[in-house]
């Protein structure tokens, strides 16, 4: 697996959006309830770029098999050293170590960006064992749970917070 950082092709962006939308549709890992259109996904990508934060793609055999990016944790200025990251692996490729690898790469990149002092994972669902596991492996600590933080598919879903100080 290699990581691509910039200059994504239209096809690569389209595949990344497909993966992202899969988890909107079929999981509680993302609290969006409607899939993102091309323009909404481009807005997300451009917001990350505009904030000079990383947006990376995981490539295997010339195919996008995952994405990861960092965003502001919250907008208020006092939060300026805290960032939230997200990772999504193509469902056909999960449980093969890619999530762990892309998170490792993302942390490496974030360590070079001095404004990033806190990296925070907001994990959808207390049964998201794969996400909890890769974060533990990469030195994230469990901070707490917001119970019933989200409501999706007629179900209340907890948010698990895990943090790494950089
Ligand atoms: C979370 C996610 C990124 C992990 O990616 P992945 O490529 O499957 O992760 P890896 O294969 O590197 O590691 C998964 C680990 O969880 C373990 N795992 C998976 N399902 C599990 C379960 N039900 N119970 C216990 N452990 C489980 C795997 O055994 C593996 O651990 P190991 O390598 O020690 O055997 C991926 O599942 C995903 O995209 N999920 C949806 C989006 C999401 O939740 N993103 C995180 C939000 S920040």
As a whole number of angstroms, the distance between CA 43 and CA 29 comes to 20
Q: Which two tokens stand for residue 19?
A: 């993966």
Kind plus residue range of the DSSP H or E element containing 161: strand 155-165
**Does the pLDDT of residue 6 top 90, yes or no?**
no
Q: What percent of the chain has pLDDT over 70?
A: 100
pLDDT band at 71 (very low <50, low <70, confident <90, very high): very high
Pocket test for ligand 1, best of 21, 97, 110, 133 (most atoms within 8 A of CB): 133
| CA 77–ligand 1 middle distance (angstroms) | 33
Identify whether the C-beta of residue 121 lies closer than 8 Å to the C-beta of residue 102: no
Closest of 110, 119, 87 to residue 16, by C-alpha: 87
- Residue pointed to by tokens 């899939």: 35
For the chain, state the CA radius of gyration.
15
Length of the chain in terms of residues written: 166
**Does the pLDDT of residue 101 top 90, yes or no?**
yes
pLDDT digits (tens, 9 = 90+) for 122-158: 999 999 999 999 999 999 999 999 999 999 999 999 9
Per CATH, domain 2-118 is 3.60.40.10: no
Could you tell me whether strands 82-89 and 118-124 are parallel, antiparallel, or unpaired per DSSP bridges?
A: parallel
**Does the pLDDT of residue 86 top 90, yes or no?**
yes
**Nearest Cα residue to atom 20 of ligand 1:** 130
Compute how many other C-beta atoms are within 10 angstroms of the C-beta atom of residue 145.
13
pTM of the predicted model as reported, rounded to 2 decimal places: 0.97
Question: Quick one: pLDDT at residue 109?
Answer: 98
């Amino acid at each position: 697996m290699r990581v691509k950082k910039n200059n994504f092709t239209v096809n690569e962006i389209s595949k990344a959006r497909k993966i992202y939308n899969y988890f909107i549709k079929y999981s509680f890992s993302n609290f969006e309830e409607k899939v993102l259109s091309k323009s909404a996904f481009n807005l997300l990508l451009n917001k990350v770029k505009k904030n000079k934060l990383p947006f990376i793609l995981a490539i295997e055999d010339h195919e996008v098999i995952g994405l990861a990016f960092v965003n502001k944790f919250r907008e208020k200025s006092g939060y300026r050293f805290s960032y939230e990251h997200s990772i999504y692996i193509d469902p056909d490729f999960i449980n093969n170590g890619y999530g762990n690898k892309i998170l490792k790469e993302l942390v490496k990149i974030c360590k070079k960006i001095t404004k990033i002092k806190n990296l925070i994972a907001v994990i959808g669902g207390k049964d998201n064992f794969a996400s909890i596991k890769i974060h533990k492996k990469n030195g994230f600590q469990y901070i707490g749970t917001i119970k019933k933080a989200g409501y999706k598919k007629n179900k209340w879903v907890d948010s698990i917070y895990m943090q790494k100080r950089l």
